[in-house]
Amino acid sequence: MAKLLICDDHPPIRTAVTYVAREINRDIKIIEAGDASEALAMMEQNQDVDLILLDLYMPGMSGLDLLSDLKQKFPATPVVVLSSDETRAAVVDALQRGATGYICKSSSTDLLAKFLEHALNGRVALPTAVVYGPGAESPGDAYSPTGARGSSPDIGLTPRQIDVLGCLLRGMSTKQICRELGLSEGTVKSHTVAIFRALNVTSRAQVVIEASRRGVTIGGRQI
Amino acid sequence: MSEVTSSAAALVGLPSQRETRSRIHRLHFVIQQASRNVLGVVVAVAFVGPVVVPMAGWLRFSAWAGLTLGGLGLRAILLRPVTKIEVLEKDADRWARLFFGSTLVCGLIGASGPLLFFPSLSAVEQMFLTMIFCCWVTAFMTSAGVYTRFYTGYVFIFIVQLILAWLTTDNPHVVAITVMLAIYGAIISRFSLSFAKQVVAGVEIRFQNEELIHELDAARRTAEAANHAKSRLLAVASHDLRQPLHALTILSGLLRRYATSEKVGEVAQQIVRSVDSLERLFSSLLDLSRLDVGAMQPELRPVSLRAIVDQLSVEFRPRAGAKGLRFEASGCEAMIVTDPMLLERILRNLIDNAIKYTERGRVELACEQRSDALVVRVADTGPGIRPEDREAIFKEFYQASGGKHRETGLGLGLAIVKRLTGLLEYTIETESEVGVGTAFRLVIPRRFISAGASESGTEPREGTGVALEGFCIVYVDDDVQVHAAMSLLFREWGCEAVIASTLAQAQTQLRERGIRPEAVLSDYSLTGNATGFAVIEALRQEYGALPAAIITGETGPRAREKLQGSEYPVLLKPVQPDELRRLLEVFRSVG
């Protein structure tokens, strides 16, 4: 059974998101946190959380710092940012720190539902403007990948490299990937270099953006 | 003497802070003026000399002149510290006493001249001397006249000594002269009273003005701070204010989905629309306040103007069509360095307005080239803007049509446009004729036009700038001829490179320079049957999991077979700098 942690200091947002999540999956288990320390405590108690939805502005700790903290302590759990900051810089910053996706709060219900569905299915979800640059509609618009649902398009990676990519998309560090996949650090680095080259990117944030563009799923644990 | 100092102050009521300051300034002015007046005394003495020396002799004149000028000199030395007003401020009363006292003593000495010389002079010369001394005492009014009582005392010393001098003579007109001198003394003393009032009033006004300017300045600053605080409050608060609004958007959307009857669906649809306009209003207000407090910083990057124009026409053509308007767009093939989000916002607001206010005809989005700028023009065939409104339309909450379109906006669009154009350092020109239409021209200065108008239409990839400064690379290649070229390339990128022909050489260099490598590049086949793999393995053993790549010039089947399953990227010689740089950027971010 899927389990979702919503971290936002505004109860109305948590309520609204809860409704939308139940629209997608009637049986989804939802837990809520109103600030950073609550979020960390919730994660301690519920190691089986499948997805964290994280607001970037919460009392107690900057959302970005909390994001780094969560990635450090719970590397395998994907974090999707839920924010009203729609600037490209904010999105790239969050991705660089290990977010797997980014949802704008100003999205319409349909859009939010689509985003959340993508995220729960392990697909990277980002605002169109970030994926395609300006010229795309507005940052609130969803990206709907053309690839077949649930399967990653072939980008010429070995199965092991796809595993590493999944870890990268979940924001895991090299050391965390070594532990997760039982590989040596050198091997993980080589795979990472191969992935960057295959996607033709030079940074972690770009890996996520490219993955979103190509409809790559993060694989690993099935949600 | 302190009584004298306060006498002038007493003219304008109780001493206040300003009163004290003005009193000190007055005293300072008088002391400065008095030291300047010494020159006048020198002139007077010089006039007296030729008259009295032949009759009274050098000795008497020299004694008098020496004492008079010496006294003034001594006074000047004593009062020298108070050329700085700060010194005077510390102990005004003491300096006042010193000044008044020393001046009276000098006056007493100077005015003794007639008594001293009259016995040796003829009546005409006595008259001449009298005139000089009257001038002397009158001229002194320009400095000490402010202090009426003090000045009266000074006049008294002079007049009395003059009268006494005349009384020693046997002039038949001595009574008349005495009376005239007394009257003269009374008149100039009296006159100094009004002179003092004028000066005091003048100084007062100056201080009042200074104070008013001060108060005005403080008031202005308070107002500015308040405005800033308001904007900041709005910026901060609107984040929290928008949260329930976001929730409302989502929930009303759900309500529409759940609607079981058509009526409920309709109402839900209306709620969605209301919330939507509320949301837009909030973001406009938020943008405005963020712009006002300078919280919005442009993120500049090169973009294709054509792509932006194309996008906007895709977005707006249907809306214009729905209103029966033609939408014409023509883009320029130009790359500009801008914040695309903000530029789009400007154009979107302008086009939005054009469509909103135009009932028939067309809306046009076009580019114009100027020698010093690129111009994006948004024109319509709407009602036009009256000349008197042309400035006002850029003010917030202003709507030229008097609120007819209120349902569709708050009149914030152009206010935001104005601020955004300022932020991006563009200008906006308005051209309009009532009944014919309006054209807004967004003028993008030449310096924002990107020189590399290459890859027409395509976006340069974001983040092509992973810095390589200080990145430490080991490059092993037994082909010494490429060393120089590689070294040059690495230096240009700011990398710290260890370039060697063999593994051993590289290791020695690393140890000697005491640096840790962060990446390894090695030629595949090295001298003595060594391979690039061995180099990488050895350095990884020593320095941990370094990202690495193989470089090779061999394309033969055997080498290809060897390199086929390599876990490292393989670059072919000659290495392309772009390809290499990109690889190093990947290495650096992989770490």
Note whether B590 contacts A: Cβ–Cβ < 8 A: yes
Asked if the Cβ–Cβ distance from A187 to B239 is below 8 Å, we say no
d(CA B344, CA B424): 12
Asked if the Cβ–Cβ distance from A84 to B243 is below 8 Å, we say yes
HSE value, Cβ hemisphere, 13 Å, CA-based, for B124: 2
Tens of pLDDT, residue by residue over B282-300, are 778 777 877 877 777 888 8
Contacts of B457 in chain A (CB under 8 A): none
Task: Give me the helix-helix angle, B174-258 and B17-56, nearest 10°.
Answer: 150
Per-residue tokens: B104: 């009276």
Tens of pLDDT, residue by residue over A8-25, are 988 989 999 999 999 888
Q: For residue B355, what are the contacts with CB-CB under 8 A and spacing of at least 6?
A: B316, B319, B320, B323, B325, B363, B380
Closest alpha carbon to B313 in B382, B250, B279, B364: B364
Closest alpha carbon to B483 in B461, B498, B463: B498
Given this model, what pLDDT does residue B521 score? 92
Per-residue tokens: B181: 């001198």
Note whether B311 contacts A: Cβ–Cβ < 8 A: yes
Residue B564 one-letter amino acid: Q
What is the pairing mode between strands A79-83 and A101-104? parallel
Asked if the Cβ–Cβ distance from A133 to B243 is below 8 Å, we say no
Asked if the Cβ–Cβ distance from A92 to B463 is below 8 Å, we say yes
Tens of pLDDT, residue by residue over B221-252, are 998 888 888 777 776 776 777 888 888 888 88
Asked if the Cβ–Cβ distance from B239 to A203 is below 8 Å, we say no
Query: CA A162, A167, A171: angle at the middle one, nearest 5?
Result: 140
Note whether B298 contacts A: Cβ–Cβ < 8 A: no
Residue A55, SS3 per DSSP: strand
Arithmetic mean of pLDDT, B510-523: 91
Q: For residue B454, what are the contacts with CB-CB under 8 A and spacing of at least 6?
A: B335
**Percentage of chain B surpassing pLDDT 90?**
12
Asked if the Cβ–Cβ distance from B246 to A84 is below 8 Å, we say yes
Tens of pLDDT, residue by residue over A91-108, are 888 998 889 889 988 888
Mutate which: B281, B305, B589, vs A, most A CBs within 10 A? B589
Contacts of B252 in chain A (CB under 8 A): 109
DSSP A26-45: TT-EEEEESSHHHHHHHHHH
Interface predicted TM-score of the whole assembly (ipTM), two decimals: 0.78
Is pLDDT of B145 > 90?
no
Q: Which mean pLDDT values do the consecutive 10-residue runs of chain A (223 residues) have?
A: 89 91 90 90 90 85 87 90 84 89 86 87 78 50 42 72 87 88 89 89 86 73 38
Mutate which: A56, A83, A109, vs B, most B CBs within 10 A? A109
B423 CB burial (10 A radius; 0-12, 13-18, 19+): middle
- pLDDT greater at residue B355 or residue B390: B355
d(CA A103, CA B250): 13
Asked if the Cβ–Cβ distance from B308 to A134 is below 8 Å, we say yes
> Does the global pTM surpass 0.80?
no
Tens of pLDDT, residue by residue over B293-329, are 777 788 888 888 888 888 888 888 888 888 899 998 8
Note whether B243 contacts A: Cβ–Cβ < 8 A: yes
Task: Give me the helix-helix angle, B2-10 and B92-110, nearest 10°.
Answer: 110
DSSP A161-221: HHHHHHHHHTT--HHHHHHHHT--HHHHHHHHHHHHHHHT-SSHHHHHHHHHHHT-B--SS
Beta-carbon pairs below 8 A across chains A and B: 142
Tens of pLDDT, residue by residue over A173-189, are 888 899 888 888 888 98
Is pLDDT of B442 > 90?
yes
Q: Are B443 and B368 in contact (CB under 8 A)?
A: no
Arithmetic mean of pLDDT, B492-514: 90
d(CA B147, CA B143): 9
| Position B400 confidence tier, pLDDT thresholds 50, 70, 90 | low
Contacts of B545 in chain A (CB under 8 A): 174, 184-186, 188-189
Asked if the Cβ–Cβ distance from A106 to B279 is below 8 Å, we say yes
**Letter string b/e over residues B435-464, b meaning 16 or more CB atoms within 10 A of that residue's CB:** eebbbbbbbbeeebbbeeeeeeeebbebbe
Instruction: Look at phi and psi of residue A160 and say left if phi exceeds 0, alpha if psi is from -120 to 50, else beta.
Output: alpha
